[in-house]
Structure 1
Amino acid sequence: MLWLPSLRAGMNYRGGANGPRATSLARNWTRPDARTVHAWLSFPAVSNYSARRGHGFSRTTDVIVRRIREPRTTGRPRRYNIPSKKPSGDMQMFILSSQWKLALIVAAVAMAGVGWVLPASGDDQALRAEARLLLGALPDVPGEALDAPDTKLGRTLFWDVRLSLDGETACASCHLAEDWGADRRRYSPDARGKLTARHSQTVFNSMPQSALRWTGDRESGAHQAERSLTGSMGFDSAEEAVAALKRLGYEPEFRAAYPDDAQPVSPANYGRALQAYQATLVTPAPLDRFLDGDDDALTTEQKAGLKSFLHLGCADCHYGELLGGQSIEKFGVFKEYWTVTGSEKQDVGRFEVTGDEADRYKFRVPMLRNIAKTAPYFHDGSVAKLEDAVQIMADVQLGGRLDDQDAAAIVAFFDALTGQVPGHFSPPEEFPGGSESP
C-alpha cells in the first residue's frame, strides 16, 4: 500500500519593514515505516532579492522532507511535519501548481520506501544532482547592488567606530576580515566593556537565514542591526544613536539612500542600510563551482566527504545553499551537549527567549559556509578544532561517532565551503564629515 501526503496549501506573505517575503512550505506526511529517505523540492518562489535586500534578484525557495529515524511504535502511521524556515512555528503554506503537486507525489513514493529518486551511483553527475537537490549553490550578487546608495551607507556604518558609546566599537569589531566575518575569540567585547553572551558568528552569507543569532530572536539583518544600537554599540536609547548619526554628518547619506523618507535618519533605516551591505557579502566556494558543473572543483576526498555529509544525516539540519541557518533544533539529541563540548555553562538556548520548555537547549542551526575559517565552534565557542566539532555533532546529534575515514572526508569537504573574503569587506576611504578611516 502506498501512503501519499495530505496536501493543504494556501499562499501567505509576511510584510513589514523589509517588504513582502514569501513564507515557507509546510506539509504533513504519513509513512508506514522508519526507513530513512530524503526528498528535496526546490522551486522558484515569488520572493526576490528586494524582499530582503532592496535589490532585484530572483531567489529559490527550498523545502526539505526531512530524514526520519524514529521507529514506528504503533500500528498507525506516524505523522511528520516539514519544519518551517520561520522559527516561530506558525507554518504558512504555498498554493502548489499541478506540477509541484506531482513533485510532492514523487517525494511521497520515495518516503513510502521505493528508495532514492536519484541514481545511487557514486559518479560526479549523480553526486552533483543529489547535492543540487539537498543543498544548492550560492546566488550571485547583482553588480548594481554594490553601488546602491543604501549599500554604500551600510558599508560606512559597519566600519565606523565613532557610532558607539566608547568611540572604539563598530560592527567590524566583532566580525573581522581575518576571521572570515566572525570572531576567533569565544566572546566579543561590546562598547560597554562587557562580553557577549554567545560566540559571534560570521556575517558572510548570513542575510538569507530565516532568523539571526543563536536563539533566532532577530527576524532579519535589519532587525539585528537596529537592536545593536542599544546592545553592542552601547547607546542608552535609539534617540541617542540618531543624535550621534546627525552630529557626525550622516544625514546626506541617509537622504540619498532613502529619498522618500521624511525622516531618513532613523534606527529603522540604520538597520536597513546595514542589511543591504551585509547582503552583498557573499562568498562563492569550490562547492558552488562543482554544482555548476566543474568536476575538478572538489578533490576526491572532498567528494567523498560531500557524499558522507548527505547520507549520514548532516544535511537533515544543514540543508540549503547555506548548509544550515534555516531551522531551530535541539543541541544534544542523543546526549547532553555539555558532557562532550566541555562547556562551562549549560546554556538553555531558545528557552531564554520563549519560556517554552520545548525550546530548552534549542539553537538556530548554524550555516556551514566558511566553517573551516570561523573557529571556535558552537554557541559558546567551546570547541577549538573542526575535527573535534564534527565528531561531537555526530555523537550528540546522530547517536555515535563517525569512523575516522568519514570524519576526515567531511572535514576535507568543509574546506570546499571556503570562499574569498569579499573585496569590499573593508572600510571606505572616507567617512561623513570628511574624516578618513577612524
Structure 2
Amino acid sequence: MTNALSGPNALLYGTALASAGLQAMRLLLLSGMALGSFAVPSISSADEGPAAGSSTSPSKVQEPISPLPKSIQLDESKVQLGKRLFADSRLSSGNGLSCASCHQLALGMTDGRPISGGLPGYPGITNSLTILNVGFNTLFSWSGQTLSLEQQADKVIESKHTMGGSWENVIATLSGDSTVVAEFNRNFPDGLTRKNIVDSLVAYETSLYTPNAPFDRYLRGETGAISENAKKGYQIFKDYGCISCHQGINVGGNMMQVFGIFGSPPSITKGAETAGAAHGSGIANDKPVFRVPPLRNVAKTAPYFHDGSAKSLSEAISLMATYQLGREISEDDVSKIESFLKSLSGDPPTASVD
C-alpha cells in the first residue's frame, strides 16, 4: 500500500542504496522535486507480524515504517574486540579521543553537545549523530557521502574534525600491545590490520541496536503498546508529510534533503561547509543539503539538527513543520507527534560502552 502526498507539501525522496553513489542521489532528489505528488512505498519485514494501519489499532496494512528485528546475528568475539577499540584513545594517535568521546550511552550514543568539539585548529562543525541502530542506515554522516558503515568507521580515524589519527600510527601503536595483538590473531587469520580494526569496530557498532520499542510492538499487533496520543501522533506525523523523509526501518537515515525548503531557518548556514552538504551538490547550491537523520531513540539525543540549534524535541518538531513542510502546527499536534516519537525508543544495547 502507498500513502500519497500531493500539492505544496510534496517532498523530495530517494532511497539511496549503497551502490548508487552521489550522482544517483542527485537524480533521485531532482526527480522528487519535479513530482506533483509523492508516493511512500510499503516497507515490510518477512518475519514480522501485522503492521499498524491508519487507524488507532494495528491492521494487515503495511506501513512506511517497519519494526527492527527482534534479534540479529553477531560474532560476539569480534563485538567485544570492537567494543574495546571503540573506547581506545590510541585510535586518535595521541589526541586523547576515542570513538566513545562523542558517542556515550547515557546521551543516546551522542555527546549531548550542539557541536562536537573537534581538535585544536579543527573545531567540530556538526552535531554528533547517534550510532544506535547505525547498522540499518544506508547513508552515513550529515553529508551523506559515506555509503557504508565500513567506510565511515575507516575515515573518522583520520578526519581532522573527529579523531585526527593516522592509520600508520594506529597500527604501529596497537602492534606494541601483546594483548590486542593476541585478540586480533584469535579473531582474524591475518591478525592486526587496518581492515580488521574497521571490521571489529563495525561489528561492535552493528550490535548497538535497540529492539522492542513500544512502537515496534504496536506494529506487530500489540495494540496497547503505545498510548492513544502516540497513535494519534503517528497519524498526524503521516498527515503532515513527515513520513516522506522519515520512513523505513530506521525512520530516516536513507536519503538526502534540503534544509529549509520553505524559508531559511536561523541556523541554516551552520554546517554548510560540511563536505557534500551543499557546495557542488547539484541539488540546491544556495541551501545546505543533509542526510535525513533517523528518528529511533530521538527522545534521548537532544539537541537536534546538524548544528544542535533545537534544544528540545517539541522545538524541533515545530521548526520542521515550518521550514520543511510549510505548515503551521498546533501545540496539541506537536505534543501528539512527540508522544509518537518517544514510542520509538527501544531497549538499550547490551554491548554498549558506558
- Correspondence for 2:154: 226
- Correspondence for 1:84: 15
**Residues 248, 188 of structure 1: CA spacing in aligned structure 2 closer, same or farther, 3 A cutoff?**
farther
Partner SS state of residue 150, structure 2: helix
Deviations 1:331-369 (A, max 9, x none): 11111123xxx4673725564576234253110000000
Alignment size in residue pairs? 323
For residues 178 and 81 of structure 1, the distance between their equivalents in structure 2, rounded to whole angstroms, comes to 34
Contact 1:176 1:182 in 2 (8 A): yes
- The offset of 1:212, in angstroms, is 0.6
For residues 332 and 350 of structure 1, the distance between their equivalents in structure 2, rounded to whole angstroms, comes to 18
- Correspondence for 2:249: 321
AA aligned to 2:177 is: L
- Correspondence for 1:403: 330
- The offset of 1:251, in angstroms, is 2.1
Contact 2:103 2:110 in 1 (8 A): yes
For residues 120 and 297 of structure 1, the distance between their equivalents in structure 2, rounded to whole angstroms, comes to 15
Aligned residues: CA RMSD = 3.0
Which of 219, 222, 233 matches 1:305? 233
For residues 54 and 299 of structure 2, the distance between their equivalents in structure 1, rounded to whole angstroms, comes to 28
Deviations 1:306-345 (A, max 9, x none): 111122201000011111000001111111123xxx4673
For residues 202 and 319 of structure 1, the distance between their equivalents in structure 2, rounded to whole angstroms, comes to 17
- The offset of 1:273, in angstroms, is 1.3
- The offset of 1:207, in angstroms, is 1.8
Partner SS state of residue 318, structure 1: coil
For residues 276 and 126 of structure 2, the distance between their equivalents in structure 1, rounded to whole angstroms, comes to 15
For residues 120 and 202 of structure 1, the distance between their equivalents in structure 2, rounded to whole angstroms, comes to 29
- The offset of 1:391, in angstroms, is 0.6
Partner SS state of residue 80, structure 2: helix
Partner SS state of residue 363, structure 1: strand
- The offset of 1:188, in angstroms, is 2.1
- Correspondence for 1:141: 71
Superposed counterparts of 1:3-402, under 5 Å: 39=2, 67-69=5-7, 83-86=14-17, 88-90=22-24, 122-126=55-59, 129-130=60-61, 132-142=62-72, 145=74, 147=76, 149-166=77-94, 168-190=96-118, 192=120, 194-231=122-159, 232-235=162-165, 237-249=166-178, 250-259=180-189, 261=190, 264-284=191-211, 285-338=213-266, 342=267, 345=270, 347=272, 351-352=276-277, 355-360=280-285, 361-402=288-329
Output the TM-score relative to the length of structure 2: 0.82
- The offset of 1:238, in angstroms, is 1.6
Contact 1:305 1:409 in 2 (8 A): yes
Structure 1 residues 410-419 or 80-89, which shifts more? 80-89
Contact 1:85 1:327 in 2 (8 A): yes
**Residues 230, 288 of structure 1: CA spacing in aligned structure 2 closer, same or farther, 3 A cutoff?**
same
For residues 133 and 298 of structure 2, the distance between their equivalents in structure 1, rounded to whole angstroms, comes to 12
Deviations 1:49-98 (A, max 9, x none): xxxxxxxxxxxxxxxxx7343599xxxxxxx996232362437xxxxxxx
**Residues 403, 196 of structure 1: CA spacing in aligned structure 2 closer, same or farther, 3 A cutoff?**
same
**Residues 208, 354 of structure 1: CA spacing in aligned structure 2 closer, same or farther, 3 A cutoff?**
farther
AA aligned to 2:301 is: T
Q: Which has the larger radius of gyration?
A: 1
Deviations 1:389-408 (A, max 9, x none): 00100101111221222111
- The offset of 1:165, in angstroms, is 2.8
AA aligned to 1:85 is: A
- The offset of 1:184, in angstroms, is 0.7
Q: Which structure ranks higher in relative contact order (CA pairs < 8 Å, sequence separation ≥ 6)?
A: 2
- The offset of 1:125, in angstroms, is 2.6
Contact 1:141 1:280 in 2 (8 A): no
**Residues 152, 212 of structure 1: CA spacing in aligned structure 2 closer, same or farther, 3 A cutoff?**
same
**Residues 279, 171 of structure 1: CA spacing in aligned structure 2 closer, same or farther, 3 A cutoff?**
same
**Residues 350, 406 of structure 1: CA spacing in aligned structure 2 closer, same or farther, 3 A cutoff?**
farther
Partner SS state of residue 378, structure 1: coil
- The offset of 1:138, in angstroms, is 0.6
**Residues 194, 297 of structure 1: CA spacing in aligned structure 2 closer, same or farther, 3 A cutoff?**
same
For residues 311 and 371 of structure 1, the distance between their equivalents in structure 2, rounded to whole angstroms, comes to 20
- Correspondence for 2:28: none
- The offset of 1:299, in angstroms, is 0.5
Partner SS state of residue 302, structure 1: helix
- The offset of 1:151, in angstroms, is 1.6
Structure 1 residues 163-172 or 313-322, which shifts more? 163-172
For residues 275 and 241 of structure 2, the distance between their equivalents in structure 1, rounded to whole angstroms, comes to 23
Partner SS state of residue 229, structure 1: helix
Structure 2 residues not aligned, in runs of 5+: 26-38, 41-50
For residues 352 and 414 of structure 1, the distance between their equivalents in structure 2, rounded to whole angstroms, comes to 26
Identity %: 31
Output the TM-score relative to the length of structure 1: 0.67
Structure 1 residues not aligned, in runs of 5+: 1-37, 41-65, 73-79, 92-106, 109-117, 428-438
**Residues 119, 226 of structure 1: CA spacing in aligned structure 2 closer, same or farther, 3 A cutoff?**
closer
For residues 424 and 212 of structure 1, the distance between their equivalents in structure 2, rounded to whole angstroms, comes to 21
